[in-house]
Structure 1
Protein backbone atom coordinates (compact mmCIF):
# COMPACT_ATOMS: atom_id res chain seq x y z
CA UNK A 1 0.00 0.00 0.00
CA UNK A 2 1.18 3.52 -0.76
CA UNK A 3 0.37 4.66 2.78
CA UNK A 4 3.33 2.69 4.07
CA UNK A 5 5.71 3.87 1.38
CA UNK A 6 7.19 7.10 0.11
CA UNK A 7 5.69 9.39 -2.52
CA UNK A 8 8.48 8.17 -4.79
CA UNK A 9 7.21 4.59 -4.49
CA UNK A 10 3.63 5.65 -5.14
CA UNK A 11 4.65 7.52 -8.27
CA UNK A 12 5.81 4.30 -9.86
CA UNK A 13 2.18 3.75 -10.88
CA UNK A 14 1.89 7.21 -12.43
CA UNK A 15 3.10 8.04 -15.91
CA UNK A 16 4.53 11.53 -15.69
CA UNK A 17 4.43 13.57 -18.85
CA UNK A 18 6.18 16.50 -17.19
CA UNK A 19 7.35 17.42 -13.68
CA UNK A 20 4.90 17.01 -10.82
CA UNK A 21 5.24 19.09 -7.65
CA UNK A 22 3.66 17.82 -4.43
CA UNK A 23 3.17 20.78 -2.12
CA UNK A 24 1.53 21.97 1.06
CA UNK A 25 1.18 25.43 2.58
CA UNK A 26 0.67 26.46 6.19
CA UNK A 27 -0.81 29.91 6.62
CA UNK A 28 -2.28 32.45 9.01
CA UNK A 29 -5.90 31.62 8.19
CA UNK A 30 -8.39 29.48 6.29
CA UNK A 31 -9.41 32.05 3.66
CA UNK A 32 -6.99 31.77 0.72
CA UNK A 33 -7.71 35.34 -0.33
CA UNK A 34 -6.61 36.90 2.96
CA UNK A 35 -4.29 34.34 4.59
CA UNK A 36 -0.51 34.70 4.49
CA UNK A 37 1.87 31.78 4.01
CA UNK A 38 4.09 30.83 6.96
CA UNK A 39 5.53 27.52 5.71
CA UNK A 40 6.07 25.91 2.30
CA UNK A 41 6.79 22.24 1.70
CA UNK A 42 7.46 20.92 -1.82
CA UNK A 43 8.82 17.84 -3.53
CA UNK A 44 9.43 18.10 -7.26
CA UNK A 45 9.43 14.88 -9.29
CA UNK A 46 10.52 14.57 -12.90
CA UNK A 47 9.75 11.85 -15.46
CA UNK A 48 12.16 8.93 -15.51
CA UNK A 49 12.36 5.40 -16.89
CA UNK A 50 11.22 4.10 -13.50
CA UNK A 51 8.20 6.41 -13.39
CA UNK A 52 9.50 9.39 -11.45
CA UNK A 53 12.70 10.70 -9.93
CA UNK A 54 12.89 13.11 -7.03
CA UNK A 55 14.40 16.38 -8.17
CA UNK A 56 14.32 19.14 -5.55
CA UNK A 57 12.82 19.40 -2.07
CA UNK A 58 11.82 22.68 -0.47
CA UNK A 59 11.01 23.12 3.21
CA UNK A 60 11.06 26.75 4.35
CA UNK A 61 9.46 29.06 6.87
CA UNK A 62 8.06 32.37 5.66
CA UNK A 63 7.61 35.55 7.66
CA UNK A 64 3.99 36.61 6.96
CA UNK A 65 4.78 40.12 8.20
CA UNK A 66 1.59 40.11 10.23
CA UNK A 67 0.31 38.60 13.47
CA UNK A 68 0.12 34.80 13.60
CA UNK A 69 -3.08 33.68 15.37
CA UNK A 70 -2.62 31.50 18.44
CA UNK A 71 -4.89 28.88 16.89
CA UNK A 72 -2.51 28.58 13.93
CA UNK A 73 0.48 28.19 16.25
CA UNK A 74 -1.36 25.49 18.19
CA UNK A 75 -2.35 23.69 15.00
CA UNK A 76 1.00 23.77 13.20
CA UNK A 77 3.40 23.72 16.14
CA UNK A 78 5.45 26.42 14.43
CA UNK A 79 7.08 28.78 16.92
CA UNK A 80 6.10 32.40 16.11
CA UNK A 81 9.62 33.67 16.83
CA UNK A 82 11.14 31.23 14.33
CA UNK A 83 8.60 32.20 11.69
CA UNK A 84 9.17 35.92 12.20
CA UNK A 85 12.93 35.46 11.78
CA UNK A 86 12.44 33.72 8.42
CA UNK A 87 12.69 35.55 5.08
CA UNK A 88 9.42 37.08 3.79
CA UNK A 89 7.67 35.59 0.79
CA UNK A 90 9.25 37.89 -1.87
CA UNK A 91 12.61 36.31 -1.03
CA UNK A 92 11.23 32.90 -2.02
CA UNK A 93 9.29 33.80 -5.17
CA UNK A 94 12.10 33.30 -7.70
CA UNK A 95 12.86 29.80 -6.42
CA UNK A 96 9.18 28.93 -6.30
CA UNK A 97 8.79 30.11 -9.87
CA UNK A 98 11.65 27.84 -10.98
CA UNK A 99 10.12 24.82 -9.26
CA UNK A 100 6.62 25.43 -10.61
CA UNK A 101 7.08 26.94 -14.07
CA UNK A 102 6.85 23.71 -16.07
CA UNK A 103 5.09 21.48 -13.55
CA UNK A 104 1.73 20.00 -12.71
CA UNK A 105 0.73 20.19 -9.04
CA UNK A 106 -0.47 17.73 -6.41
CA UNK A 107 -1.73 18.43 -2.91
CA UNK A 108 -4.42 17.43 -0.46
CA UNK A 109 -7.38 19.82 -0.80
CA UNK A 110 -5.10 21.91 -3.03
CA UNK A 111 -7.87 22.89 -5.43
CA UNK A 112 -9.90 24.60 -2.71
CA UNK A 113 -7.09 26.05 -0.60
CA UNK A 114 -3.39 25.74 -1.48
CA UNK A 115 -3.58 26.69 -5.17
CA UNK A 116 -5.83 29.75 -4.62
CA UNK A 117 -3.61 30.81 -1.71
CA UNK A 118 -0.45 30.49 -3.79
CA UNK A 119 -2.05 32.43 -6.65
CA UNK A 120 -3.18 35.18 -4.29
CA UNK A 121 0.26 35.48 -2.71
CA UNK A 122 1.99 35.79 -6.09
CA UNK A 123 -0.54 38.44 -7.15
CA UNK A 124 -0.05 40.40 -3.93
CA UNK A 125 3.56 40.85 -4.98
CA UNK A 126 2.78 41.86 -8.54
CA UNK A 127 3.48 38.48 -10.10
CA UNK A 128 1.51 35.69 -11.76
CA UNK A 129 1.79 32.11 -10.56
CA UNK A 130 3.82 30.47 -13.35
CA UNK A 131 2.81 27.21 -14.95
CA UNK A 132 1.65 25.48 -18.11
CA UNK A 133 -1.61 26.74 -19.61
CA UNK A 134 -3.00 23.22 -19.33
CA UNK A 135 -1.64 22.60 -15.84
CA UNK A 136 -3.18 19.68 -13.96
CA UNK A 137 -3.83 19.86 -10.21
CA UNK A 138 -4.02 16.35 -8.78
CA UNK A 139 -6.00 16.51 -5.53
CA UNK A 140 -6.26 13.23 -3.55
CA UNK A 141 -9.12 14.73 -1.53
CA UNK A 142 -11.22 15.14 -4.67
CA UNK A 143 -10.07 11.76 -6.00
CA UNK A 144 -11.26 10.09 -2.81
CA UNK A 145 -14.72 11.52 -3.38
CA UNK A 146 -14.76 9.85 -6.79
CA UNK A 147 -13.30 6.55 -5.60
CA UNK A 148 -15.69 6.34 -2.64
CA UNK A 149 -19.09 7.50 -3.91
CA UNK A 150 -21.26 9.11 -1.23
CA UNK A 151 -24.61 7.83 -2.47
CA UNK A 152 -26.84 6.10 0.07
CA UNK A 153 -26.34 2.78 -1.72
CA UNK A 154 -22.55 3.14 -1.59
CA UNK A 155 -22.51 4.08 2.09
CA UNK A 156 -24.93 1.30 2.97
CA UNK A 157 -22.73 -1.27 1.28
CA UNK A 158 -19.60 0.16 2.89
CA UNK A 159 -20.99 0.09 6.44
CA UNK A 160 -23.05 -3.12 6.26
CA UNK A 161 -21.23 -5.20 3.61
CA UNK A 162 -24.63 -5.74 2.02
CA UNK A 163 -26.18 -4.42 -1.17
CA UNK A 164 -29.07 -2.03 -0.73
CA UNK A 165 -31.99 -3.71 -2.48
CA UNK A 166 -34.91 -1.57 -3.58
CA UNK A 167 -32.88 1.64 -3.47
CA UNK A 168 -35.02 4.73 -4.14
CA UNK A 169 -38.02 3.11 -2.52
CA UNK A 170 -38.83 5.81 0.05
CA UNK A 171 -39.32 3.63 3.13
CA UNK A 172 -36.40 1.37 2.23
CA UNK A 173 -34.17 4.45 1.91
CA UNK A 174 -35.38 5.68 5.31
CA UNK A 175 -34.46 2.36 6.91
CA UNK A 176 -31.08 2.32 5.16
CA UNK A 177 -30.33 5.88 6.28
CA UNK A 178 -31.01 4.91 9.88
CA UNK A 179 -28.73 1.89 9.57
CA UNK A 180 -25.91 3.94 8.03
CA UNK A 181 -26.14 6.57 10.79
CA UNK A 182 -26.13 3.89 13.48
CA UNK A 183 -23.03 2.24 12.02
CA UNK A 184 -21.27 5.59 11.55
CA UNK A 185 -21.75 6.54 15.20
CA UNK A 186 -20.67 3.10 16.42
CA UNK A 187 -17.58 2.87 14.19
CA UNK A 188 -16.33 6.32 15.18
CA UNK A 189 -17.46 6.10 18.84
CA UNK A 190 -19.64 9.19 18.56
CA UNK A 191 -22.68 10.06 20.63
CA UNK A 192 -24.69 13.21 21.19
CA UNK A 193 -27.86 15.03 20.31
CA UNK A 194 -28.97 15.62 16.73
CA UNK A 195 -28.16 19.31 17.21
CA UNK A 196 -24.67 18.47 18.46
CA UNK A 197 -24.02 16.12 15.55
CA UNK A 198 -25.31 18.71 13.08
CA UNK A 199 -22.91 21.28 14.54
CA UNK A 200 -20.05 18.80 14.20
CA UNK A 201 -20.93 18.36 10.53
CA UNK A 202 -21.23 22.11 10.04
CA UNK A 203 -17.83 22.88 11.56
CA UNK A 204 -16.80 26.50 10.94
CA UNK A 205 -19.68 27.05 8.54
CA UNK A 206 -22.65 29.00 9.88
CA UNK A 207 -25.28 27.37 7.70
CA UNK A 208 -25.92 23.87 6.40
CA UNK A 209 -25.45 24.97 2.77
CA UNK A 210 -21.92 26.19 3.64
CA UNK A 211 -22.43 29.69 2.29
CA UNK A 212 -20.99 31.56 5.28
CA UNK A 213 -17.90 30.53 7.24
CA UNK A 214 -16.37 31.81 10.45
CA UNK A 215 -12.71 32.72 10.01
CA UNK A 216 -11.37 34.12 13.26
CA UNK A 217 -13.35 37.27 14.00
CA UNK A 218 -14.55 37.58 10.41
CA UNK A 219 -17.33 35.85 8.48
CA UNK A 220 -16.40 34.86 4.92
CA UNK A 221 -18.86 34.44 2.04
CA UNK A 222 -18.39 31.10 0.28
CA UNK A 223 -20.54 31.49 -2.83
CA UNK A 224 -21.24 33.78 -5.74
CA UNK A 225 -19.07 36.36 -7.44
CA UNK A 226 -17.64 37.60 -4.13
CA UNK A 227 -16.65 34.15 -2.90
CA UNK A 228 -13.78 34.48 -0.41
CA UNK A 229 -14.53 38.02 0.74
CA UNK A 230 -15.69 38.89 4.24
CA UNK A 231 -19.16 40.21 4.95
CA UNK A 232 -17.68 43.51 6.05
CA UNK A 233 -15.71 43.84 2.81
CA UNK A 234 -18.84 43.19 0.76
CA UNK A 235 -20.89 45.59 2.87
CA UNK A 236 -18.29 48.34 2.41
CA UNK A 237 -17.29 47.76 -1.21
CA UNK A 238 -20.32 46.12 -2.85
CA UNK A 239 -23.34 47.61 -1.11
CA UNK A 240 -25.85 46.58 -3.80
CA UNK A 241 -24.76 42.94 -3.65
CA UNK A 242 -24.80 43.00 0.15
CA UNK A 243 -28.35 44.40 0.16
CA UNK A 244 -29.48 41.75 -2.34
CA UNK A 245 -27.96 38.96 -0.23
CA UNK A 246 -29.46 40.31 2.98
CA UNK A 247 -32.94 40.89 1.59
CA UNK A 248 -33.18 37.79 -0.60
CA UNK A 249 -31.58 34.91 1.32
CA UNK A 250 -33.79 34.71 4.37
CA UNK A 251 -31.98 31.95 6.24
CA UNK A 252 -28.66 33.86 6.11
CA UNK A 253 -30.10 37.06 7.59
CA UNK A 254 -29.78 36.03 11.27
CA UNK A 255 -26.15 34.99 10.70
CA UNK A 256 -25.39 38.28 8.96
CA UNK A 257 -26.98 40.23 11.82
CA UNK A 258 -24.93 38.32 14.38
CA UNK A 259 -21.71 38.81 12.43
CA UNK A 260 -22.13 42.56 11.95
CA UNK A 261 -23.69 43.62 15.22
Structure 2
Protein backbone atom coordinates (compact mmCIF):
# COMPACT_ATOMS: atom_id res chain seq x y z
CA UNK A 1 0.00 0.00 0.00
CA UNK A 2 1.01 3.62 -0.31
CA UNK A 3 1.16 3.88 3.47
CA UNK A 4 3.74 1.12 3.66
CA UNK A 5 6.13 2.91 1.28
CA UNK A 6 5.19 6.52 2.06
CA UNK A 7 8.07 7.32 4.43
CA UNK A 8 10.73 5.80 2.19
CA UNK A 9 9.19 7.53 -0.85
CA UNK A 10 9.19 10.88 0.96
CA UNK A 11 12.86 10.34 1.83
CA UNK A 12 13.67 9.34 -1.75
CA UNK A 13 11.99 12.53 -3.04
CA UNK A 14 13.59 14.73 -0.39
CA UNK A 15 15.08 17.78 -2.10
CA UNK A 16 13.81 16.75 -5.53
CA UNK A 17 12.06 19.06 -7.93
CA UNK A 18 9.03 17.55 -9.65
CA UNK A 19 7.84 17.54 -13.24
CA UNK A 20 5.34 15.93 -15.52
CA UNK A 21 2.54 16.50 -17.99
CA UNK A 22 -0.48 18.06 -16.25
CA UNK A 23 1.34 17.46 -12.96
CA UNK A 24 0.27 20.78 -11.40
CA UNK A 25 -3.41 19.90 -11.64
CA UNK A 26 -3.17 16.16 -11.10
CA UNK A 27 0.00 14.32 -10.14
CA UNK A 28 1.48 16.70 -7.54
CA UNK A 29 -1.83 17.47 -5.75
CA UNK A 30 -2.60 13.75 -5.72
CA UNK A 31 0.83 12.90 -4.34
CA UNK A 32 0.58 15.54 -1.60
CA UNK A 33 -2.93 14.42 -0.65
CA UNK A 34 -1.80 10.82 -0.36
CA UNK A 35 1.09 11.82 1.89
CA UNK A 36 -1.27 13.89 4.05
CA UNK A 37 -3.71 10.98 4.35
CA UNK A 38 -1.00 8.81 5.89
CA UNK A 39 0.38 11.63 8.08
CA UNK A 40 3.68 11.96 6.25
CA UNK A 41 4.96 15.50 5.87
CA UNK A 42 5.78 16.29 2.26
CA UNK A 43 6.78 19.92 2.00
CA UNK A 44 6.51 21.44 -1.47
CA UNK A 45 7.48 24.99 -0.55
CA UNK A 46 11.16 24.60 -1.49
CA UNK A 47 10.61 22.55 -4.64
CA UNK A 48 10.50 23.64 -8.24
CA UNK A 49 7.78 22.32 -10.57
CA UNK A 50 7.84 21.91 -14.32
CA UNK A 51 4.58 21.13 -16.11
CA UNK A 52 5.04 20.29 -19.79
CA UNK A 53 1.32 20.63 -20.43
CA UNK A 54 1.22 24.17 -19.05
CA UNK A 55 4.18 25.18 -21.21
CA UNK A 56 2.52 23.49 -24.20
CA UNK A 57 -0.73 25.37 -23.64
CA UNK A 58 1.07 28.69 -23.13
CA UNK A 59 3.17 28.33 -26.24
CA UNK A 60 0.60 26.66 -28.49
CA UNK A 61 -2.51 28.69 -27.80
CA UNK A 62 -5.78 26.84 -27.46
CA UNK A 63 -8.14 29.58 -28.59
CA UNK A 64 -10.57 29.84 -31.47
CA UNK A 65 -8.17 32.23 -33.20
CA UNK A 66 -5.35 29.66 -32.91
CA UNK A 67 -7.59 26.79 -34.04
CA UNK A 68 -8.80 28.80 -37.04
CA UNK A 69 -5.20 29.53 -38.01
CA UNK A 70 -4.11 25.91 -37.50
CA UNK A 71 -7.01 24.13 -39.21
CA UNK A 72 -8.03 26.69 -41.82
CA UNK A 73 -4.74 28.55 -42.32
CA UNK A 74 -6.58 31.86 -42.00
CA UNK A 75 -6.43 34.78 -39.59
CA UNK A 76 -9.60 35.40 -37.62
CA UNK A 77 -10.70 38.97 -38.22
CA UNK A 78 -13.17 40.51 -35.77
CA UNK A 79 -12.49 37.82 -33.17
CA UNK A 80 -15.10 37.71 -30.41
CA UNK A 81 -17.85 39.13 -32.56
CA UNK A 82 -20.73 36.66 -32.64
CA UNK A 83 -20.79 36.29 -36.42
CA UNK A 84 -17.02 35.96 -36.89
CA UNK A 85 -16.69 33.42 -34.05
CA UNK A 86 -19.64 31.38 -35.32
CA UNK A 87 -18.34 31.23 -38.88
CA UNK A 88 -14.82 30.43 -37.69
CA UNK A 89 -16.08 27.65 -35.41
CA UNK A 90 -18.05 26.08 -38.25
CA UNK A 91 -14.97 26.25 -40.49
CA UNK A 92 -12.79 24.68 -37.78
CA UNK A 93 -15.22 21.79 -37.23
CA UNK A 94 -15.41 21.18 -40.99
CA UNK A 95 -11.60 21.21 -41.24
CA UNK A 96 -11.28 18.88 -38.24
CA UNK A 97 -13.67 16.38 -39.81
CA UNK A 98 -11.75 16.54 -43.09
CA UNK A 99 -8.37 16.18 -41.35
CA UNK A 100 -9.31 13.41 -38.89
CA UNK A 101 -12.11 11.63 -40.78
CA UNK A 102 -12.25 8.00 -39.71
CA UNK A 103 -9.72 8.35 -36.89
CA UNK A 104 -10.60 6.87 -33.51
CA UNK A 105 -10.45 9.03 -30.40
CA UNK A 106 -9.39 7.50 -27.07
CA UNK A 107 -9.86 8.62 -23.49
CA UNK A 108 -6.85 9.05 -21.16
CA UNK A 109 -7.00 5.32 -20.30
CA UNK A 110 -6.69 4.40 -23.98
CA UNK A 111 -10.29 3.25 -24.45
CA UNK A 112 -11.85 4.21 -27.79
CA UNK A 113 -14.69 6.67 -27.15
CA UNK A 114 -15.63 7.38 -30.74
CA UNK A 115 -14.59 8.08 -34.29
CA UNK A 116 -14.29 11.42 -36.05
CA UNK A 117 -16.85 11.41 -38.85
CA UNK A 118 -19.10 13.91 -40.57
CA UNK A 119 -22.22 13.26 -38.52
CA UNK A 120 -23.55 14.62 -35.26
CA UNK A 121 -23.70 11.29 -33.44
CA UNK A 122 -20.00 10.60 -33.86
CA UNK A 123 -18.97 14.18 -33.17
CA UNK A 124 -21.10 14.14 -30.00
CA UNK A 125 -19.51 10.88 -28.87
CA UNK A 126 -16.01 12.34 -29.03
CA UNK A 127 -17.04 15.72 -27.62
CA UNK A 128 -19.56 15.17 -24.88
CA UNK A 129 -21.03 11.67 -24.73
CA UNK A 130 -20.21 11.11 -21.05
CA UNK A 131 -21.45 14.51 -19.83
CA UNK A 132 -24.26 14.52 -17.29
CA UNK A 133 -24.28 18.16 -16.23
CA UNK A 134 -22.84 21.06 -18.16
CA UNK A 135 -20.27 21.95 -15.51
CA UNK A 136 -18.81 18.46 -15.63
CA UNK A 137 -19.39 17.69 -11.95
CA UNK A 138 -21.01 14.40 -13.00
CA UNK A 139 -20.06 12.15 -15.90
CA UNK A 140 -21.01 8.64 -16.92
CA UNK A 141 -18.47 5.88 -16.43
CA UNK A 142 -17.79 3.05 -18.89
CA UNK A 143 -20.92 1.25 -17.69
CA UNK A 144 -23.07 4.35 -18.32
CA UNK A 145 -23.56 5.05 -14.60
CA UNK A 146 -23.49 8.66 -13.38
CA UNK A 147 -20.44 9.20 -11.18
CA UNK A 148 -18.95 12.17 -9.39
CA UNK A 149 -16.19 13.90 -11.34
CA UNK A 150 -14.74 15.89 -8.44
CA UNK A 151 -13.86 15.74 -4.78
CA UNK A 152 -13.67 12.89 -2.33
CA UNK A 153 -16.29 10.83 -4.19
CA UNK A 154 -14.70 11.16 -7.64
CA UNK A 155 -15.54 8.14 -9.84
CA UNK A 156 -18.12 6.86 -7.31
CA UNK A 157 -21.75 6.39 -8.42
CA UNK A 158 -23.88 9.39 -7.49
CA UNK A 159 -26.85 7.23 -6.47
CA UNK A 160 -24.68 5.15 -4.12
CA UNK A 161 -23.30 8.23 -2.37
CA UNK A 162 -26.75 9.82 -2.03
CA UNK A 163 -27.97 6.64 -0.33
CA UNK A 164 -24.92 6.23 1.91
CA UNK A 165 -24.54 9.94 2.76
CA UNK A 166 -27.92 11.67 2.47
CA UNK A 167 -26.39 14.91 3.80
CA UNK A 168 -24.19 15.14 0.72
CA UNK A 169 -27.22 16.08 -1.36
CA UNK A 170 -28.03 18.94 1.03
CA UNK A 171 -24.41 20.10 1.02
CA UNK A 172 -24.39 20.31 -2.76
CA UNK A 173 -27.79 21.97 -2.96
CA UNK A 174 -26.68 24.66 -0.50
CA UNK A 175 -23.25 24.95 -2.10
CA UNK A 176 -22.00 27.19 -4.87
CA UNK A 177 -22.78 24.77 -7.69
CA UNK A 178 -24.45 25.70 -10.98
CA UNK A 179 -28.22 25.33 -11.11
CA UNK A 180 -27.89 22.76 -13.90
CA UNK A 181 -25.68 20.63 -11.64
CA UNK A 182 -28.24 20.86 -8.83
CA UNK A 183 -31.05 20.00 -11.24
CA UNK A 184 -29.22 16.87 -12.47
CA UNK A 185 -28.41 15.86 -8.88
CA UNK A 186 -32.09 16.17 -7.98
CA UNK A 187 -33.10 14.11 -11.03
CA UNK A 188 -30.70 11.34 -10.01
CA UNK A 189 -31.96 11.45 -6.41
CA UNK A 190 -35.62 11.31 -7.48
CA UNK A 191 -34.89 8.47 -9.88
CA UNK A 192 -33.40 6.57 -6.91
CA UNK A 193 -36.59 7.15 -4.89
CA UNK A 194 -38.79 6.03 -7.78
CA UNK A 195 -36.76 2.82 -8.18
CA UNK A 196 -37.56 1.72 -4.64
Q: What band does the TM-score fall into relative to the shorter chain?
A: 0.5 to 0.7
Q: Secondary structure at the match of 2:147?
A: strand
Q: Secondary structure at the match of 2:11?
A: helix
Structure 1 residue 97 displacement after superposition: 1.0
1:157 to 69, 90, 99: 69
Q: Secondary structure at the match of 2:153?
A: coil
CA contact (8 A) 1:103 1:132 kept: no
Partner of 2:105: none
- Cα gap change, 1:258/1:161 in structure 2, threshold over 3 Å: closer, same or farther? same
- Cα gap change, 1:145/1:203 in structure 2, threshold over 3 Å: closer, same or farther? farther
Normalised to the residue count of structure 1, the TM-score between the two structures is 0.53
Partner of 2:89: 177
- Cα gap change, 1:211/1:219 in structure 2, threshold over 3 Å: closer, same or farther? same
Structure 1 residue 182 displacement after superposition: 0.8
Normalised to the residue count of structure 2, the TM-score between the two structures is 0.68
Structure with the higher fraction of residues in strand conformation: 1
Q: In structure 1, what is the Cα distance between the partners aligned to 2:16 and 2:139?
A: 32
Q: In structure 1, what is the Cα distance between the partners aligned to 2:181 and 2:43?
A: 41
Matches within 5 A, 1:219-238: 219-222=147-150, 227-229=151-153, 231=158, 232=161, 235-238=165-168
Partner of 1:208: 134
Alignment of 1:139 onto 2:51: yes
CA contact (8 A) 2:17 2:49 kept: yes
Partner of 1:243: 173
Any stretches of 5+ residues in structure 2 without a counterpart? 102-115
Matches within 5 A, 1:179-198: 179-189=91-101, 190-198=116-124
Residues 170-197 of structure 1: CA deviation (Å, up to 9, x unaligned): 3232221111111111212221543542
Matches within 5 A, 1:18-167: 88-128=1-41, 130-167=42-79
Residues 5-41 of structure 1: CA deviation (Å, up to 9, x unaligned): xxxxxxxxxxxxxxxxxxxxxxxxxxxxxxxxxxxxx
- Cα gap change, 1:180/1:218 in structure 2, threshold over 3 Å: closer, same or farther? closer
Q: Which has the higher contact order (CA 8 A, sep 6+)?
A: 1
Q: Secondary structure at the match of 2:126?
A: helix
Structure 1 residue 135 displacement after superposition: 3.0
Q: In structure 2, what is the Cα distance between the partners aligned to 1:137 and 1:131?
A: 13
Structure 1 residue 258 displacement after superposition: 3.3
The RMSD of aligned alpha carbons is 3.2
- Cα gap change, 1:228/1:192 in structure 2, threshold over 3 Å: closer, same or farther? farther
